[in-house]
Every structure is written in structure tokens, then in C-alpha cells.
Amino acid sequence: MSRVIITAAITGAIHTPTMTPYLPVTPDQLADEVYRAYNAGAAVAHIHVRDPKTGQPSSRLELFREVAMKVKSRCNIVLCFTTGGGLTMSTRERVAVVPELQPELASFNTGSLNFGLFYLVPQYEKFKYEWEENYLQMTEDYIFPNTFKTMREFCAVMKEYGTKPELEVYDSGMVNNIAYLVKAGILTKPLYIQFVLGILGGIPATVRNLSFLHESAKEALGDNFTWSVCAAGRAQLAMGATALAMGGNVRVGLEDSLYAGRGQLAKNNAEQVEKVVQIAKVLSIEPATAEEARQILGLKGIDKVNY
Ligand code: KMH
Ligand code: ZN
């Protein structure tokens, strides 16, 4: 039986509280959401934190730690911490979670890009919190910075703490960035790639583009890598289903889409995880357990984290 690693990206830094009443914000809400997603079949949870009062993306280490500890007391799910952070954070702030928690897995953004969320603003008449409109609007003039220097430094930190980088690829040129980092001895194989489609500024979420990214990665990096896909917005599940058919892994979650069907807001992350599990089962693919995901990805183990 083949296995799929399902990742739940619990809250992210793209959506804001006005967009849905179901966006988890406090450490308790985040931990509850992780545990629900785990019970639904997720082996990995991708973690961002937010200010508990306003829902604004945060880099406060005590929030990350609280979530990590609350989750660990309940289940053995793999936690993948963001080093993408939120759109206004410095690179130093973004990477600080790695030395602090020494996690098994952390996101690693493989290039700079325009990260446009400003087109969402006109969809809302009034925002619940003051920060939201400006946070989204300022992305019209914003580049998400992941220079070669930043990438070299993030790699060094992750290497020091035995944290595996999950390589976020938003466009095909980033595959070449990864190839360079490997060639330069900065990144070590075996690699784990997350193809992120559908961000305004990155590659659109189509079957052809996913296939192109996958082929480009094989050409540049060889066959021996593990990969997963996530897509922003309405393409989320279609891209996940395509990845299942291609033998890849799948990320869902409220970070990427707020919906669980046409016009239907997801009430929690688990709803989206359940949908992937259903499709996988029809294809005779089983969701990997957290322990199986650790083996597939070659992670150091939950006994070696610092939380
Ligand atoms: N926060 C976004 C700018 C990551 O977690 O590394 C990108 C992001 C990717 O969420
Ligand atoms: Zn993220």
C-alpha cells in the first residue's frame, strides 16, 4: 500500500480574521486545530503563530513554544515551523524559532518573490482589526526576501540543529536555486520539496504547471527527492488530488484556503484533511502516520527537539 504524507498548514500569515470566523489564533486554538487534523489523518502540522488578541502574524517565541508543548502533550505529530513568518518580519526574526525549538522540520523559502495579497482588499467592506487592511494592501509594493545570503544563513542554522528544511518552491527558477545550494554544498540531499502554487507573484495552480515543476525538479536534482504540493485558494484540493495521482504528498489547511467546498467556509483544518484522506483511499493510498512520515523524510525524531 502506498502512503501519503498529509500536512495541515494550520493558520499561516496570509489570511486575516475578517475573512473567516474559523481562523485559529490563540495557542490553545492552534493546538486544538493541530490535534483535530492529526486525528483526521495529518502526519505533519505546519505552524505559524498570531497575536492572541488581534490575530496579527507574530514571531514571538513564547507563542511558538506554547503551541509546540501543548501539541506534544497530546500527540506525536511532526511539527514543521515556519521560517517564512509574516510579511513584515525581518529574516532574523523569521529564523529564530529554529535554535529556540530545534524542531524536526522547518519551512525554507527557496527564493524571493512578489507576494501579492492586496487584490483581496476590495472583497471586504470593513475589517475587524486595524492592522488587516494595511497588511494586505502593502503587498502591492512588497518582495518576500529570500536572497542567496539569507538562504545560506538559514541552511547553516538548520544544519546546526538537525532541522530538515522543507523547501518551498513558488516558481520554476527556485528549482535552480535549490540545485545551486546543493552544488555549493550548502544544502544536503535527500531533499524535501513543497511546491506552492497559486500565489500572486508565483506560478499559477494548474495541472500543467505542477507537472512542469516536478519534471524541472527531476531534471535539476535527480529523482531522489520527496515532494508535496499545496495551492492557494480554490485550486487547493484539485492540486492535492493531482499530487496523489502523481505519487506526491499533499498539504492542505487554512493557511492556503479557507474553503472546504464551493462557497463553503471550512470550519476547521480537519475538514480539509478528511477530504484528502477520502480521495487517497479511493486511490488505494493510505495516510502516513507521523512515525512513517519521520522515516520517509529522514527526520531526527521527536526525542531530539527542544520543546
Ligand atoms: N508567510 C508567507 C510569506 C512559510 O511558512 O515558510 C509565506 C509562508 C511560507 O507562509
Ligand atoms: Zn507557512
Residues linked to residue 78 through DSSP beta bridges, in sequence order: 44
Please tell me the predicted confidence (pLDDT) of residue 18: 98
Query: How do the pLDDT tens digits run along the chain, 307 residues long?
Result: 799 999 999 999 999 999 999 999 999 999 999 999 999 999 999 999 999 999 999 999 999 999 999 999 999 999 999 999 999 899 999 999 999 999 999 999 999 999 999 999 999 999 999 999 999 999 999 999 999 999 999 999 999 999 999 999 999 999 999 999 999 999 999 999 999 999 999 999 999 999 999 999 999 999 999 999 999 999 999 999 999 999 999 999 999 999 999 999 999 999 999 999 999 999 999 999 999 999 999 999 999 999 9
Q: Atom 6 in ligand 1: which residue has the minimum CA distance?
A: 84
Which bound ligand lies closest to the C-alpha atom of 143? 1
Q: What is the pTM of this model?
A: 0.98
Q: In whole angstroms, how large is the CA radius of gyration of the chain?
A: 18
Q: How far is the CA of 280 from the centre of ligand 2 (A)?
A: 24
- Would you say 209 and 198 are in contact if contact means Cβ atoms under 8 Å apart? no
What atom in ligand 1 is closest to the CA of residue 82? 5
Q: How far is the CA of 284 from the centre of ligand 1 (A)?
A: 32
Please tell me the predicted confidence (pLDDT) of residue 88: 87
Please tell me the predicted confidence (pLDDT) of residue 195: 99
User: Which burial class, exposed, middle or buried, applies to 278 when counting CB atoms under 10 A from its CB (0-12, 13-18, 19+)?
Assistant: exposed
The binding-site residues of ligand 1, defined as CB within 6 angstroms of any ligand atom, are: 12-13, 82-87, 107, 109, 115, 144, 168
Residue with cell 529556540: 100
- Would you say 227 and 214 are in contact if contact means Cβ atoms under 8 Å apart? yes
Coil, helix or strand for 101? helix
